[in-house]
Amino acid sequence: MTQPSRGGEYDVAVIGGGLVGSALAWGLARSGQKVAMLDEGDIAVRPSRGNFALVWVQGKGLGMAEYAGWTKQSSDDWSGFADLLREQTGLDVAYRRPGGFMPMLSEEDLQARANTMMRLHNQPDMIPYPYEVMDRETLRKELPFIGPDVVGGTYCPLDGHCNSLRLLRTLHKGIGLLGVDYRPNHRVESIEHRDGGFRMATAGGEVRAGKIVLAAGHDSARLAPMVGLSAPVRPQRGHVIVTEKTAPFLHHPTVYVRQTDEGGVMIGDSFEEVGFDTTLQPGVSSAIAQRAIRFFPLLGKLNVVRSWAALRVLTPDGFPIYEESTTAPGAFVATCHSGVTLAANHALTLAPLIAAGGLGDRFKPFSARRFHVPQAA
Amino acid sequence: MFRRLPEIETASSTVAFTIDGRPASARAGDSVAAALLANGVTVCRNTPVSGAARGPYCMMGVCFDCLVTIDGTGNRQGCQVRVAPGMAVETQNGKREVER
């Protein structure tokens, strides 16, 4: 049994019940902490219910080699993470790692992509991983259905995908089995750091904890300054389309199109700077559908059954923020736009460090202080 | 299980089509779903994930349980398509295939 913490009822309160918060709460409880997870209700800005479900490595981390390494580690740990979840909950999150493709529609794009992958790997401190730049004929051996406009692409054997709705459900079941106190309808209004602990005024009453982790996605921008942290995140909208369930034919995920474990084909990857607006734009849906059909013409025969828009949680440079407050020690922030890819890290690496008391030097590059460099005149 | 009303039985002309390659007969104006039921086919597909049996249910385009392959195109709603002479209707086992 853990000792009662100085701050009151809980060792740790995780604020946010999406993929980042749930993975952290799962890992904290597994590390022996008494955990509360404070969540909003059914109506919340919740990218965890709208994402594309890739567990993706290739191309990430140009500008921050530590992020590339962090991503690779999560990908390497994902299979074991999925096994742990299945053993604990009996639920299969359908993680597969068949390798992923980034198909390209012009020689210029393919060359730019190859350059990006090379610059990524030329960074100091980069942990290399295998990838290939493929011409059309090589690509066609792996993806036989590509259309005539596809000139080639890049491939990385580390890339994979899962069923991300089931991941969220599985984590929630898992934290219940681990004794986490899940509290929906507990939007945090204010946080007070007092006597070495934290008191939160929430929509469901006061909650006290020795440590807190801000994993509230977009709402972390509001919460972080309450404990001397900073989380300058903004919403970036992405549209997703899903087709009727179809017999398996697409055996590798791509950045734009993937076939789910249950057979539906998901089409995505739009980037829109429109604030907190999840309204579907038919023009965007049709643009991503047309692009998907250029990659895989046979998709044109399938019926669409649903489409939606969700809001990525983006920092100014696109890399995560992991940081402990210096003015309110014991308050942590964790935010990223890859809650699926990084779930294994959050559960198996980050949560045990927070349980043990601190992040250590490895996480210094992920501090939000990188955004506070004064602008040159 | 299903019988036609007597006045319908005699009033309309017949249309020849096939169900899974077997010759079948419908009344002019029948939907594919109605024709399947009239020919004793109450299970027209198995669901894509669990494989549970499904047959025509709402008959008005809402429930999507009557999905069948019609003239080579999968996942058509049988209740929303009229039987045409020579039409090839196939029951579906599991997911449709992307090329048909």
Q: What is the pLDDT of residues A209-242, one digit of tens each?
A: 999 999 999 999 999 999 999 999 999 999 999 9
A135 confidence band (pLDDT: 50, 70, 90): very high
Closest partner residue to B97 (CB to CB) among A247, A262, A303 is A247
**Phi and psi for A332 in degrees, rounded to 5?**
-120, 155
> Do B95 and B48 meet the contact criterion of CB atoms below 8 Å apart?
yes
Å between B30 CA and nearest CA of chain A: 24
Pairing of strands B92-93, B45-46: parallel
Q: Is the pLDDT of residue B60 over 90?
A: yes
Residues for chain B: how many in total?
A: 100
Q: Is the pLDDT of residue A59 over 90?
A: yes
Which residue does chain A place closest to B77, by CA atoms? A303
Q: Is the pLDDT of residue A371 over 90?
A: yes
Mean pLDDT value of segment A96-108: 98
B70 CB neighbours in chain A (<8 A) are none
Q: Is the pLDDT of residue B8 over 80?
A: no
Q: Which of A242, A258, A303, A305 to mutate to test the interface with B (most CBs of B within 10 A)?
A: A303
Q: Which CATH class is domain A10-50+165-232+318-370?
A: alpha beta
Q: What is the pLDDT of residue A6?
A: 43
Per the prediction, chain A carries an average pLDDT of: 95
CATH 3.10.20.440 is held by the domain B6-93: yes
Q: Is the pLDDT of residue A8 over 60?
A: no
- Smallest CA-to-CA distance from A298 within B77, B84, B98, B45 is with B98
- The percent of residues in chain A predicted with pLDDT above 70, rounded, is 97
Please give the Cα distance from A348 to A336 (Å, whole number): 16
**B73 interfacial to chain A (CB closer than 8 Å):** yes
A246 CB neighbours in chain B (<8 A) are 95-98
B95 confidence band (pLDDT: 50, 70, 90): confident
A180 confidence band (pLDDT: 50, 70, 90): very high
Q: What is the pLDDT of residues A13-41, one digit of tens each?
A: 999 999 999 999 999 999 999 999 999 99
Classify residue A283 by burial, with Cβ atoms within 10 Å: 0-12, 13-18, 19+: exposed
Task: Please judge whether A246 and B96 are an interchain contact, meaning their C-beta atoms are less than 8 angstroms apart.
Answer: yes
Å between B6 CA and nearest CA of chain A: 38
Which residue does chain B place closest to A261, by CA atoms? B49
**B71 interfacial to chain A (CB closer than 8 Å):** no
Å between B97 CA and nearest CA of chain A: 5
Q: What is the pLDDT of residues A147-156, one digit of tens each?
A: 999 999 999 9
Q: What is the pLDDT of residues A233-261, one digit of tens each?
A: 999 999 999 999 999 999 999 999 999 99
**B75 interfacial to chain A (CB closer than 8 Å):** yes
- Give the domain ranges of chain A: 10-50+165-232+318-370, 100-157, 234-314
Classify domain A234-314 at the CATH superfamily level. D-Amino Acid Oxidase, subunit A, domain 2 (3.30.9.10)
- Give the domain ranges of chain B: 6-93
Give the burial string for A333-372 (b: 16+ CB within 10 Å, else e): bbbbbbbbbbbbbbbbbbbebbbeeebeeebebbbbeeee
Closest partner residue to B48 (CB to CB) among A262, A298, A301 is A262
Closest partner residue to A301 (CB to CB) among B49, B95, B98 is B98
Q: How many CB atoms lie within 10 A of CB A175?
A: 27
Q: Which of B76, B97, B98, B100 to mutate to test the interface with A (most CBs of A within 10 A)?
A: B98
Q: What is the pLDDT of residues A300-319, one digit of tens each?
A: 989 999 999 999 999 999 99
Q: Which of A146, A246, A265, A306 to mutate to test the interface with B (most CBs of B within 10 A)?
A: A246
Q: What is the pLDDT of residue A1?
A: 41
Pairing of strands A181-183, A35-38: parallel
Å between B9 CA and nearest CA of chain A: 36
Q: What is the pLDDT of residue A217?
A: 97
| DSSP secondary structure code for residue A335 in this structure | E
Q: What is the pLDDT of residues B29-59, one digit of tens each?
A: 999 999 999 999 999 999 988 899 999 999 9
